[in-house]
Structure 1
C-alpha cells in the first residue's frame, strides 16, 4: 500500500490504470478508518446533510458546516487525497464568490481540493477556481443539489440527446482544468464512452464498472443510513444491527443494575470512607 500522501498528479496518472477507490467521511474516526484501508480519495460530501445532519436533501448544508466537517476529516487522514464538496449556493452566484468559498475550504478546512456540480454551465467558474490555484473535481449526471430541476433522483442521460449533453459537459470540465470527474447515475455504456473520450479520470457512482474509479457514501456501504438505499449501492456490512443490539443490551443492564459492574467502577479505601462519614 502506498504510504506517501496521494497527490493530484497521482490521481491523474491512474487514468486507464488500477481503478481509484473513493469513499466519503464526515468526521475523525471514520476518516481514520477509511484512510487506514488505503482508500485513494476521501470525499467530505455534502451528503452529510442527509446521513449525518438528518436533512431530506443536500441543499441545506452550509459552508461553515462543510468546513467544520472537513477539519475533522483532515485530522484523521494521513495518506488519502481529501476533496470537499462546495455546498449549494457557494459557487453558483458569482465567480468571485466561488473562488472565495473554494479558498476557504482549502485555507480553513485544509482540504486538498474541492468538488462542485455542473457541466458546461459551470465550466467558466471551474476554470476561474483552477486559475486561482485550487484543484477542482467535477460532478455531472445526477447532481443532487439540483435534483428537483432534473425531475428527482433519477438516472440521467438515457436519451441520445441527453447523453450528448453529458459528453459535452465532461469535455467542458476537462478543458476547464478539472483533475477528475464524478459521473453519477448514468447508463454504464455512456459512462464507458465518456471515460474513453476524456483524458482525466472518471469516478463512477451508479455509472457501471467502466469508470476509472468508484465512490460510495460510507453510511450506505456499512448500512447506517435507513431512509433508502439506491440501486447502485452494495452494502458490505450492516453495522446498524449490532449497534442496535448493543444499545438494547445497555439499556437492559442499566435498568437491572448489571451495569456498571465492579470491573467498571473505582474503589476507595474503607478507612477513608469511614473518615468521610465522621465529617458530618
Structure 2
C-alpha cells in the first residue's frame, strides 16, 4: 500500500513503520494517524509478521509532537473528539495489538510523539533522544494517553513534575526512569531494535499475544489482571504452539512455532 506520510517495509518477520515527514519533524497530523492505523492493522493481521518496529525518518526526530496548526482553533467539543478519535485509532490500538511493537526513538519524542512511543510495548532510544510532554506550555494537557501511561511507566511524582514543567529529559535520564529499555547510538538504533525483535520472533507469537493481553489487563479499570492471566494461561494449552513448544523441550530441540 502507498502512503503519503509513512513508509512500511517488511523484512523476514519484522515490519518497520517509519513516520516520513522530516520537514515537519515527523509531527502527527490527521492523515498520518490514519495511515499509521492502517499500517499497524495490516502488519498485525499478517501471520508472517512477528514484530513491528516504529521509528521516525531523518536524524532529528522520532515525532516532535502533534501538528498544532490542525487544532489551534478547535472548541471544547472538537478538542474532546480529537483526543477520543486519536486514542481509538492509534494509541490504544497500538497498546492492544497482539503483535509486539518496539518504538525506536531517534531524536525528539515530544507530546504526541512520546505518547505514541509509550503506547508501544517498549522503547529503545538513541543517545540523542529528548523526551517530554510540553502541552501545558500551550495551555492544554496531553490528550493521547500521556497523563495515564507516563505515571504507569515512571511513577506519579516524576510524571507530575515532567508534565507540569513541560520539560524534556535526555535518553540516559529516560533510561534511569524506566521510560526506555535501552540506549544506543543513533547509528545502531535500528540494528539493536532488530536484534531484540529477532529474539522475540523465535518465540510463540500466540503466547506473546496472550502475555500482552494479560499484562495490559493490570492497567485497565474494572479488569482483574490475575483473572485474565489465568484465562490466557489456560487458553495456551489449546494451541498448537503449546504442543510444539513442550514437545520440542522434551525432545531437546528448537521449537518450530506456527503462531496457532
Query: TM-score normalised to the size of structure 1?
Result: 0.26
Q: As a proportion of its length, which structure holds more helix?
A: 2
Query: TM-score normalised to the size of structure 2?
Result: 0.28
Q: Which has the greater radius of gyration?
A: 1
